[in-house]
Structure 1
Amino acid sequence: MTPTTSRNLIDARRDDAATVLVNYWYTASHDDALDDLHNVVEQWSTAPWPQELLSFSSYLSIDGHTALTFVQSTGSDSYRPFVRSLRVPARAEAVEYRPHRSILLADPPPEPGCVVVATFDVDGPERQAYIIDAVINAIEQAPPAANRGMISANFFVSTDGTRVLNFAEWTSDEAHEAFLDGVARAAALRVSQSIPRVRPIGHRRLHVHRVLEPAASRPAADPARGAVDRERRRRRLRVVGSQEDRRRRSDVAPCGGLGPGVPAMRRRRIAGEVLP
């Protein structure tokens, strides 16, 4: 498959994306981050994709020092052989996640102005599910005005049981900044910091850099299916992996890192790091 490119954001809730592979890293400067992302995108846009892959998207944090890639796939069997055929930094190892639960606050959702990626370090699948339910309950119980500008919160669980990732969509940077100063944010922090065996790592607000998606993976537009699709999304508040998926241990590191050959002084892995 040959990917096409656009600047539109991905559909984080697409039903056929059974696997999500996330990698992010720090750089010394905004220019370094852009150079890395341009390099990675060039390789992904020119290499033939395995049939499993559905989308590739890259992001840059608002401070210009964090780069992130987010890959959606129907499975993970062909991802690693494909990535190993690329060059550094595109061949960096990623954390493998499964969709777990999403909450959609605006239906139909507007075009996001930014995404906020928050990560939790947890002790096993039971803690993964517990923290997700607790955070979503806090969002749902907050007054609507407290979450103004939040479009969705999409939670993913790592297959090795050590991570939870929240890929949240917001209408704008300003809306997210207002949330950070509000009561809903304070309530969410109290919840996440009070749960045993759950350790919030932090969050990053990012802007989309590039989206690649094979034309064949985009469902043909069908107006008659619009209402059905919206109802399916409303009901899809929980997508829980099978017990086999929960027990499965991936061969990836517990958090996104960089492959061999990347200067250690230039970038630091996120493992064990506390973000603001």
Structure 2
Amino acid sequence: MSTSDSAPQPSTVSTTAHPDPARPGVGAPMFSTWRVGTPERQRTVADAIAATWEKRPWPAPDLLSYGIYAAADGDTLMHYSQWTSEEAYFAFFHNHRQERNDEIDAAVPGIERVGLSRYRLYRSHVPDPVRRAATEPGLIVTVDIHFDAATAGRRTEWIDTVIGALDEGAEEHRELLGAHFHLLENGAKHLGSAADRVLNYAEWTSEEAYETAQGADRPGWHRVRDFPGHRQVTGTRYRLLRHLTPRG
């Protein structure tokens, strides 16, 4: 592990550019959620996070980026951080996390921290890499898929089936900039989980484009819907509020 508290770290900056889920070197993508109560508090909490982080050096080179998103429910914040490894996250957890959370809680009391899960990126579907590089997503949709324990070993087969359907229906999904399929990993310590889930982090040009793409009925989507073992599918719409990165 390359994290070193003695090495000087760059400062922290907040941008509006979206993270790249397919970025090389991300060994442990982490997703977590907080409940904050109202749309106004979503923005206030995101601002408090940014202020807390920006007054401190970037905590470790093993943290590549940290995105904060507001859910359309007006309550939830999603945190998406890109780490080189799970061990790097735990070094941050022990050395830096609590003081930052304490300052955020002092600024905005009443935050409910729901949970944190570690994933592994299995496969990305980016129809037009040049367009994706030049276009910031207008909407992020996460799709959380739960599988029966008996068929959890076929998660990658299901993902491949979905990507086949996206290729088949490329015209209906022309405003999809990227779909990034993550496998839930069994994590250490408080990251304990069952490896029976897939998370699709999908990048769309706009909410209107996403709505238009719904209801596609090609044979490929019948294969997806009829695939055995997936028992619960939950989609959530998000917009990026802050993306924190090291300067330089």
TM range (shorter): 0.7 to 0.9
SS in 2 for 1:101: strand
The superposition leaves residues 102-129 of structure 1 with CA deviations (integer Å, 9 ceiling, x where unpaired) of 1111121122111111111123752321
CA distance in 2, matches of 1:146, 1:138: 11
Q: Which residue of 1 is the match for residue 238 of structure 2?
A: 206
CA contact (8 A) 1:152 1:168 kept: yes
CA distance in 1, matches of 2:38, 2:220: 34
SS in 1 for 2:45: helix
CA distance in 1, matches of 2:229, 2:118: 21
- Kindly tell me: are residues 47 and 183 of structure 1, through their superposed partners in 2, closer, same or farther at Cα, counting changes over 3 Å? farther
| Aligned counterpart in structure 2 of residue 45 of structure 1, from 44, 51, 54 | 54
Structure 2 residue 153 is the aligned partner of structure 1 residue 126: yes
Q: Which residue of 1 is the match for residue 116 of structure 2?
A: 94
RMSD (Å), alpha carbons: 2.5
The superposition leaves residues 193-252 of structure 1 with CA deviations (integer Å, 9 ceiling, x where unpaired) of 433332333111211100011135xxxxxxxxxxxxxxxxxxxxxxxxxxxxxxxxxxxx
- Kindly tell me: are residues 91 and 53 of structure 1, through their superposed partners in 2, closer, same or farther at Cα, counting changes over 3 Å? farther
| Aligned counterpart in structure 2 of residue 154 of structure 1, from 180, 199, 207 | 180
Structure 2 residue 33 is the aligned partner of structure 1 residue 24: yes
Q: Which residue of 1 is the match for residue 125 of structure 2?
A: 103
CA distance in 2, matches of 1:215, 1:94: 26
Alignment of 1:1-276 (within 5 A): 1=9, 2-48=11-57, 49-83=59-93, 84-85=97-98, 86-87=100-101, 93-108=115-130, 109=132, 110-122=135-147, 123=149, 126-142=153-169, 144-160=170-186, 161-183=195-217, 188=221, 190-216=222-248
Q: TM-score scaled by structure 2?
A: 0.76
CA distance in 1, matches of 2:113, 2:119: 18
SS in 1 for 2:158: helix
Q: Alpha-carbon deviation of 1:64?
A: 2.3
CA distance in 2, matches of 1:131, 1:41: 37
SS in 2 for 1:176: helix
SS in 1 for 2:142: strand
CA distance in 1, matches of 2:223, 2:60: 41
Identity %: 25
CA distance in 1, matches of 2:28, 2:241: 21
SS in 1 for 2:87: coil
- Kindly tell me: are residues 21 and 90 of structure 1, through their superposed partners in 2, closer, same or farther at Cα, counting changes over 3 Å? farther
In structure 1, stretches of 5+ residues that fail to align are: 217-276
Q: Alpha-carbon deviation of 1:138?
A: 1.1
SS in 2 for 1:77: helix
Q: Which residue of 2 is the match for residue 259 of structure 1?
A: none
Count of residues paired in the alignment: 213
CA distance in 2, matches of 1:30, 1:130: 38
- Kindly tell me: are residues 133 and 69 of structure 1, through their superposed partners in 2, closer, same or farther at Cα, counting changes over 3 Å? same
- Kindly tell me: are residues 203 and 92 of structure 1, through their superposed partners in 2, closer, same or farther at Cα, counting changes over 3 Å? closer
- Kindly tell me: are residues 111 and 13 of structure 1, through their superposed partners in 2, closer, same or farther at Cα, counting changes over 3 Å? same
Q: Alpha-carbon deviation of 1:74?
A: 0.8
SS in 1 for 2:86: coil
CA contact (8 A) 2:168 2:220 kept: no
Q: Alpha-carbon deviation of 1:192?
A: 4.4
The superposition leaves residues 120-144 of structure 1 with CA deviations (integer Å, 9 ceiling, x where unpaired) of 11237523212211211111122x3
Amino acid of the structure 1 residue aligned with 2:69 = Y
CA contact (8 A) 1:193 1:199 kept: no
SS in 1 for 2:25: coil
In structure 2, stretches of 5+ residues that fail to align are: 1-8, 106-110, 187-194
